[in-house]
Amino acid sequence: MNNFIDKLAEKLTPLAAKLGSNRYLTVLRDAFMLAFPLTMFGSIVVVLNNLPFFSDDLKGTLNGLFGNGQNATMSIMTLFIAFGIGYYLTKSYDEDGVFGGVVSLASFLILTPFNLTTADGVEVGGVLTSDRLGAKGMFIGMLAAFLAAEIYTRVKKKGIVIKMPEGVPDAVSRSFTSLIPAIATLSVFTLVNAFVSGAFSTNLHDVIYKFIQQPLTGLGSSLPATLLALLLTQMLWFFGLHGQVIINSVMEPIWQALALENLTAFESGQDLPHIITKSFMDTFTVSLGGTGMTLMVVILMAFVMKSKQMKEIGRLAIGPGLFNVNEPVIFGLPIVLNAAVVIPWVLTPLVVTTFNYFMMYSGIFPATTGVIVPWTMPLFFSGMMATNSIMGGVLQLIDVAIVAAIWFPFLKAQDKVNLAFEAE
């Protein structure tokens, strides 16, 4: 077993290190974190407006009064992501991030249709619809922002700029320095939009959504793809690498788009289209005690195991574990590079996620509504918030029982070894 783990580490560690330091994945992660406080606020508004014991009339009144808290945050999240990508990518090239951000945002909007076709077939101009700025526009927003920031920085790096004399205020000088790169970038996107609109009588939003976003979200919402992402996350953590940062950089845009589609359906009173969403991954994996669902593990260590080492580590890790911070047990048990616990560490999230998927698919338990619950929200409460039902919390309690059943024999075996050492 140890030889196998050493060989696997030898292969995986360099690859994981490259992914973790990749410029574009790092920028994408930081852009989503930029939008995180806003989406969190929007999620709280949705939860408070739609508490399960409220009547439909009261929910309608609250959404009329406070709905803009969600409309101005979660519903237009692509705007914040596009700005964030432009800002962080431009900054990574040691250029002015603010101008890169606004140019990327404007480039995305250039590709966005400013019209709306009503149910009667009447086309209304000068209108930006929230679906273009939310889930449906997520992928074209990311693609446009990355491309715009690259064009902007490359033009600027070539020195094709207007340099102002000394003594000119800094804000004015920076604006003129960015003028030509900004015009060049926005011109490219204007020509692309004109070509697509004129030659094909459509827009890039619909093209990207149909041929790229729909297939990718279909893949990301499948159970096999989710289990693969979890498997890679657990394996990377086993070797001491932050699996979430590496894997979620790729998967989070897909899961986020799925969550927004669920939220739109939930607010419209329609059936929720997806089981796998950002909310599902946060609430029914991380919110069970952190990566690897270890809250029940530390409880068993603290109150069931007999060795002093297990008890001490378990008691130290319970406090952070209640808020889904589990580095104390990952590095204290340890889980990292510990062949004795690699099986439950990798297996548990796969088993629990599969169980949850089929419980929601069968309708026994509700799916997540798409609201983003803080990942530090304690067990049971996070399940209720994510599903708008007490049954979400009940499902989490069943999950931790499954975690306990899988981990117990492995912890007991480790405990016996520890007791033998302590006896000596």
Long-range contacts of 250-256 (CB under 8 A, 24+ apart): 250/25, 251/220, 251/281, 252/28, 252/29, 252/32, 252/278, 253/28, 253/32, 253/138, 253/139, 253/142, 254/216, 254/217, 254/219, 254/220, 254/221, 255/220, 255/280, 255/281, 256/32, 256/77, 256/135, 256/138
pLDDT at 119 (0 to 100):
66
Instruction: Please list the pLDDT of the chain residue by residue as tens digits (424 residues).
Output: 556 556 655 665 565 566 667 888 889 888 888 888 888 788 788 878 887 778 878 888 988 899 899 889 888 989 999 999 999 999 999 999 999 999 999 999 999 998 877 767 677 878 888 878 987 788 899 999 999 999 999 999 999 888 888 878 888 888 999 999 999 999 999 999 999 988 888 888 888 877 777 787 777 789 999 999 899 889 888 876 677 767 777 788 889 889 989 998 998 889 999 999 999 999 999 889 988 999 999 999 999 999 998 899 899 889 888 888 888 888 788 887 788 888 999 999 999 999 999 999 999 999 999 998 888 889 999 999 999 999 999 999 999 999 999 999 999 988 888 888 888 7
pLDDT at 10 (0 to 100):
64
pLDDT at 134 (0 to 100):
82
Q: Residue 123 corresponds to which tokens in the numbers above?
A: 């086309």
State the burial class of residue 20 (Cβ atoms within 10 Å of its Cβ: 0-12, 13-18, 19+).
middle
pLDDT at 208 (0 to 100):
82
| Structural contact between residues 228 and 6, judged by C-beta atoms closer than 8 angstroms | no
CA distance 128 to 144: 17
pLDDT at 9 (0 to 100):
55
List helix spans (H) across 221-294.
223-238, 243-267, 278-283
> Scanning the structure block, which residue is given the tokens 């399940």?
383
pLDDT at 339 (0 to 100):
81
pLDDT at 215 (0 to 100):
80
Q: What is the pTM of this model?
A: 0.75
Long-range contacts of 8-13 (CB under 8 A, 24+ apart): 8/235, 8/239, 9/239, 9/337, 12/235, 12/236, 12/239, 13/239, 13/241
pLDDT at 206 (0 to 100):
84
- In terms of Cα–Cα distance, which of 180, 200, 234, 264 is closest to 350? 234
